[in-house]
Structure 1
Amino acid sequence: NEEPQPGLSGYLTVFGAFVALLVTFGQMNAFGTFQTWYSNHQLQQMSQSTISWIGSLQLLIFFLAGAPIGRLFDAYGPTWLMVAGSVVFTLSLVLTSISAEYWHYILAQGLLFGLGVAFMFYPALASITTYFSKYRATALGIAAAGSGVGGVVYPIMLEHLFEKIGFAWGVRVSALVSGTGCIMATLTVTNNRNVNKCGDNPACAQPRKAGAYVDLAAFKDPRFSLLALGSSFVALGLYIPFFYVAEYAEHLNISPRLAFYVLSVMNAGGIFGRIAPAYISDTIGHFNLLAPAAFLSGLSTLALWLNVKNLAGLMAFAAIYGFLSGAFVSVLTPSIACISERGQVGTRMGMLYSVTSIPSLVGNPAAGALLARSGSHSFAGMIIFSGCTVIAGSFAVWGARMTINKRIFAKV
């Protein structure tokens, strides 16, 4: 059977997905900038753990919305979902700019922001899987690199805007830039509906317009259930460095401005981590790269971050961790796709992300609580928690890989 040919529409979809992730998920990756700012300004009377609930709620809503949005994508495609996402995401930033109380930030920057990201993220990436088969991971990696670019740009941009024109107008400028990007993405992302030329190729199967929004039968598939279990453990610790690395920089008496740059370096590492490993995984197999990426992410946290004592060392850790964690994030979606039929990709992708929503919610506040127990004098407990949970998850992901094919050198 012929593989689907991407054509101009396919390449425009990759471009649109890149832009969508740049302005949405990239800004989510920059929450450490907001956390550091809040701890010194609007919410300075609150603990780091309490402030981190805002960012954790973003992740919870983002992941939890995956199942229904994925199912809606399977039925109706990306366009109207992304229209809704553009409106909700831009509105969340406008409301954040006028927030004054903690609960305002919870609703605007936590709830609405996470929902807006979800409506842009899932349709954009799922659309790519309908155009690409052989180089699916590479295409997804290029799109996912947008979140890394956004993670580099937004911390620097926001820090300068906050200092020059204040927090409120800085966030409004961000809303204007982000809203423009969302519109551009919505106009360019489409999905491949040309199923007649693909015969019985499951990559081109008809979309499901009926059926449950949650396919519980998927959990009877040990490949999917082990992948979901592993991803849940990884989600507990994977985002902790992104939330707390800027705070850790200030703990080392590094200036606040340089602290924001550390987060940008981490996200810059993620740009390369989302592209190069994804391209390699198209050759050696997605699961063959996914599990090692998770393991090495956790190991780098324990071996490097735990022992960093200066700016140079922190920058090195940030770049390495950004690369490794970016590899896991970019290869996860094609790993789901390779154990799913075309009509199930959106639903299964959403289900897996929904399963990881609770670990994503509790991981960062738990890290903040560990930091608070030390009186903010020692980050060791938080770092060990982050590294160990990610490593534990990597073993479950490897279990999914071995379920598919027990031969070590097989392409999986």
Structure 2
Amino acid sequence: MSGSERTASPTSEHVDPEKSLAPPSPPPSPPPFVEGGLRGYMTVLGAFFALFSTFGQSMSFGSFQSWYSQNQLSPYTASEISWIGSVQLCVFFVSGGLVGRLFDAYGPTLLLASGTMIVTFSLMMTSLATKYYQFILAQGFLFGIGFGLLFFPSMGATATHFTKYRATAIGIAGAGGSVGGVIFPIMLQRLFNNVGFGWAVRISAFICLASGIIATATVSSRLPRGKPGPWIDGSSLKDINYALFVSGSALTALGIFVPMYYVVPYARSSHISQTLAFGTLSVMNAGGTFGSTLLSIMADHIGRYNTLVPSAALMGILTLSLWFHAHNLVAIMTYSVFYGFLTGGWFALQNSCMAQISKMEKIGVRIGMAYSFIAFPYVSLVSF
């Protein structure tokens, strides 16, 4: 062995430049997508309770409308009283873009916990309210914020766990709102008369608190955490399918809530007793329970858009042909159950249809943005 070989430094070894510039090995592939699973089914359960306490309350506003018109807010017109519910839904709709973006970045848990606290606080404040502006602030603004924080993460999270049966999963979760819409009007009507307005609303607040805790503990998302982006996703607005869908939804929203708000006062004006008048709203929401579930199951088999579009058209046809000519209990009840069936399906299919044309990581912001745009045509009409 020569001296030069014996004294060679380890650092003088030849380094292959191709090896040094070789790209790092790719990260391991994510686990294969599992349709549903335990986390998915628990998310559907939690979303059901989230919508029970939010959409259930909101869809019961006709009960509050009737009570306010005869008690605390009797000097105000029906249109002025309905602004309480209009503000609530407008705030809920507008919050969608921001809440959806926060969901995509941070997941559902913190948002659901915040929404639960805000909804409970808003109802407690409503139970103490005596003046018009207090109802606007408590039941309108505050509840609307909590509504958005509970609704959008629940719907977005449910969509991440399912693909083949996404409409069915979202429909079952959405049925929670209809179930709440059945229970709350009956419960409130009885409690208003038995324990008074204040305690009736406080009891409903405790129910919403329990439902929100269940939702916070069970709802989860499959998406990895990301960075919060802008409230409005510009690339989504350039997607012609998404833009057309949002435009159609906004047009439908111009009138979809009007029967829900006015069916109870309309029944009272037709000389139907207060108990049966409150029952029309419960019947409408009971129809929504079946519509949300059955139309969603149908949508997974014949197509989500193939189910959504006829449902929206039939809502308008039914209202023009039946409600305008309904002046007795049988006719109003018949209209209520069929209209509720169609609206329950429409609400549930909105989210699954948006998810169908969206990338998984943008489901939250796209659903939220759509509801934000729906707010403006809705609030421009519903109170007039």
- Taking the aligned partners of 2:340 and 2:116, their CA distance within structure 1 comes to 27
1:237 match: secondary structure: coil
**Preserved contact between residue 152 and residue 267 of structure 1 (Cα < 8 Å):** yes
Distance in 2 separating the partners of 1:294 and 1:118: 23
Aligned length: 354
- Counterpart residue type for residue 299 of structure 1: I
In structure 2, the CA distance between the partners of 1:10 and 1:95, relative to structure 1 (3 Å rule), is same
- Is 1:293 aligned to residue 323 of structure 2? no
Q: Note the 1:113-128 alignment, pairs <5 A.
A: 113-128=143-158
Q: Deviations over 1:334-354 (max 9, x none)?
A: 100011001110000000000
1:207/1:285 CA distance change after superposition, 3 Å: farther
Q: Deviations over 1:188-244 (max 9, x none)?
A: 111124xxxxxxxxxxxx554243221122121111111111111111100000000
Q: For 2:229 and 2:219, locate their aligned partners in 1 and report how far apart those are by CA, in whole Å.
A: 25
RMSD: 1.1
Tell me, yes or no, if structure 1 residue 96 matches structure 2 residue 126.
yes
Report the Cα distance in structure 2 between the residues aligned to 1:88 and 1:360, rounded to whole angstroms: 24
CA distance in 2, matches of 1:168, 1:331: 36
Residues 218 and 140 of structure 1: CA distance in aligned 2, closer, same or farther (over 3 Å): same
Q: Would you say the 8 A contact 2:104–2:228 is kept in 1?
A: no
Aligned pair 1:246/2:264, yes or no? yes
Task: Find 1:133's aligned residue among 158, 163, 185.
Answer: 163
Q: TM-score, normalised by structure 2?
A: 0.90
How far has the Cα of 1:2 moved from its partner? 4.9
**Residue in structure 2 matched with residue 266 of structure 1 by the alignment:** 284
Q: Quote the Cα distance in structure 1 between the aligned partners of 2:382 and 2:277.
A: 19
* Pairing partner for 2:181 from 146, 151, 156: 151
Residue from 298, 305, 312 that aligns with 1:280: 298
Are the aligned partners of 1:207 and 1:343 in contact in 2 as well (CA < 8 Å)?
no
What SS is found at the alignment partner of 2:343? helix
Q: How high is the sequence identity, in percent, across the aligned residues?
A: 46
Q: Which residue of 2 aligns with 1:36?
A: 66
Larger radius of gyration: 2
Alignment of 1:334-353 (within 5 A): 334-353=352-371
Separation in structure 1 between the aligned mates of residue 164 and residue 225 of structure 2, nearest angstrom: 20
Residue 41 (structure 2) pairs with residue 15 (structure 1):
no
2:112 corresponds to which letter in structure 1? M
Q: Is the 8 A contact 2:35 2:164 kept in 1?
A: no
Cα deviation digits, residues 251-290 of structure 1 (max 9, x gap): 1100111100000000000000100010111111111111
Q: Which residue of 1 aligns with 2:13?
A: none
Aligned match of 1:181: 211
Structure 2 counterpart of 1:13, one-letter code: T
Question: Structure 1 residues 227-236 or 344-353, which shifts more?
Answer: 227-236
Superposition deviation, residue 3 in structure 1: 3.8
Amino acid in the other structure paired with 2:66: T
Q: Read off the aligned partner of 1:45 and give its amino acid letter.
A: P
Is the counterpart of residue 327 in structure 1 residue 345 in structure 2?
yes
The amino acid that maps onto 1:128 is: T
Match of 1:392 in 2: none
2:377 to 356, 359, 379: 359
Q: Which amino acid aligns with 1:102?
A: Y
Letter of the 2:97 counterpart: A
> What 5-or-longer segments of structure 2 have no aligned partner?
1-30
SS at match of 1:211: coil
**Partner Cα separation in structure 1 for residue 209 and residue 160 of structure 2:** 26
- Superposition deviation, residue 54 in structure 1: 0.3
How far the C-alpha of 1:177 sits from its partner, in A, is: 1.2
Give the counterpart letter for 1:248 in structure 2. Answer: Y
